[in-house]
């Protein structure tokens, strides 16, 4: 009898907890991975972002620029840069990579940065613009011929010419404006704008200025000339040939009138 009691108690405990053994086996199976080792945790299951800065950068032709590509991925698998520009140095750290771009001469270039995280690839883009502010904007004194006067404005060493707008103002009012988008050259250039308008007395003493404006996808670069005030003294005379002809005609008229006077005068 003494040996039967512990056996009955053991059977009752097993009946009260029928899944105990199986639960312990399941917990043991979860605690071990294949081959008896603990499973490695997943790299990331959350969305990640990729950013590039600056997103827009303007440099002078031939200049260089640094772009920084950063991400929230804790363990990025790969980082890369897609660009038509010449690459320079590359620096990196936890969550970021910096790329150097050299000899930027294209007026506009798109650059893309890519990061791969847990098998997923995301990217960000930036735009690089090369430009050159006009070295000078010069407005010549007005040249008057007959009843018209001509304005001539010079814009020197500017790039890109296709994004240049040249405007003439008189007394603060626009009298002429020209967009040079038809020019597609990729070199520094000099631009001369010539405009002719009627010479009216009421336009005297009104200052005239020439303005050059580069509009580069959000970046606006402005340059202006010194003002020129048209006056009677500033106007140039007509060409010498026309002046000589007028004087000769006037002398001829005087000779004819004098001859007629002498012919009709009675002799003394």
Residue ranges of domains in the chain: 50-130, 136-224
Cβ neighbourhood burial of 84 (10 Å; 0-12, 13-18, 19+): exposed
Which class is domain 136-224?
Answer: mainly beta
Q: What is the pLDDT of residue 27?
A: 41
What average pLDDT does range 157-176 have in this prediction?
A: 92
CA–CA separation, 237 vs 142, rounded Å? Answer: 11
- The H-or-E segment that residue 4 falls in is helix 4-16
Q: What is the pLDDT of residue 264?
A: 63
The more confident residue out of 188 and 247 is 188
Q: What is the pLDDT of residue 251?
A: 64
Q: What is the pLDDT of residue 41?
A: 39
User: Based on C-alpha coordinates, what's the Rg of the chain?
Assistant: 43
Q: What is the pLDDT of residue 70?
A: 96
CA–CA separation, 67 vs 57, rounded Å? Answer: 9
Q: What is the pLDDT of residue 267?
A: 44
237 closest CA partner among 139, 140, 141, 143: 143
CA–CA separation, 236 vs 57, rounded Å? Answer: 47
What average pLDDT does range 76-88 have in this prediction?
A: 93
Confidence of residue 202 (pLDDT cuts 50, 70, 90): confident
The more confident residue out of 61 and 98 is 98
Which class is domain 50-130?
Answer: mainly beta
- The token pair at 64 is 């260089």
Lowest mean pLDDT among 10-14, 26-30, 158-162, 164-168: 10-14
The more confident residue out of 152 and 218 is 152
What average pLDDT does range 117-144 have in this prediction?
A: 92
CA angle 56, 85, 91 (to 5 degrees): 75
DSSP H helices in 118-239 = none
Average pLDDT of the chain is 78
3-state secondary structure of 264: helix
CA angle 154, 159, 161 (to 5 degrees): 65
Q: What is the pLDDT of residue 60?
A: 86
Asked if domains 50-130 and 136-224 share a fold, the reply is yes
What average pLDDT does range 129-144 have in this prediction?
A: 91
In order, the DSSP letters of 35-62 are GGPPPPPPS--S---EEEE-SEEEE-TT
Q: What is the pLDDT of residue 12?
A: 35
What average pLDDT does range 63-92 have in this prediction?
A: 94
What average pLDDT does range 121-143 have in this prediction?
A: 92
Question: Using an 8 Å Cβ cutoff, are 62 and 105 in contact?
Answer: yes
Confidence of residue 87 (pLDDT cuts 50, 70, 90): very high
Q: What is the pLDDT of residue 112?
A: 96
Q: What is the pLDDT of residue 250?
A: 64
């Amino acid at each position: 009898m003494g040996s039967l009691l512990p056996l009955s108690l053991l059977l009752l405990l097993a009946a009260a907890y029928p899944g105990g053994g199986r639960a312990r086996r399941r917990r043991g199976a979860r605690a071990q991975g294949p081959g008896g080792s603990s499973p490695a945790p997943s790299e990331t299951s959350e969305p990640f972002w990729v950013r590039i800065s600056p997103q827009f950068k303007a440099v002078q032709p031939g200049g260089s620029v640094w772009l920084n590509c950063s991400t929230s991925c804790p363990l990025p698998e790969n980082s890369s840069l897609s660009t038509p520009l010449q690459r320079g140095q590359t620096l990196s750290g936890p969550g970021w990579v910096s790329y150097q771009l050299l000899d930027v001469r294209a007026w506009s270039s798109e650059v893309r940065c890519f990061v791969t995280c847990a098998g997923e690839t995301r990217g960000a883009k930036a735009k690089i613009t090369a430009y050159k502010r006009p070295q000078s904007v010069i407005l010549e004194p007005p040249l008057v011929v007959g009843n018209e006067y001509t304005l001539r404005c010079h814009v020197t060493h500017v790039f890109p010419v296709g994004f240049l707008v040249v405007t003439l103002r008189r007394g603060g009012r626009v009298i002429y404006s020209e967009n040079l988008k038809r020019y597609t050259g990729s070199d520094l250039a000099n631009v001369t704008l010539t405009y002719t308008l009627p010479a009216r007395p009421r336009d005297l003493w009104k200052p005239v200025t020439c303005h050059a404006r580069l509009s580069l996808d959000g970046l606006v670069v402005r340059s202006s000339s010194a003002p020129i005030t048209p006056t009677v003294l500033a106007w140039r005379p007509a060409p010498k040939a026309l002046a000589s002809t007028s004087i000769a005609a006037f002398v001829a008229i005087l000779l004819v009138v004098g001859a007629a006077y002498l012919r009709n005068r009675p002799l003394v």
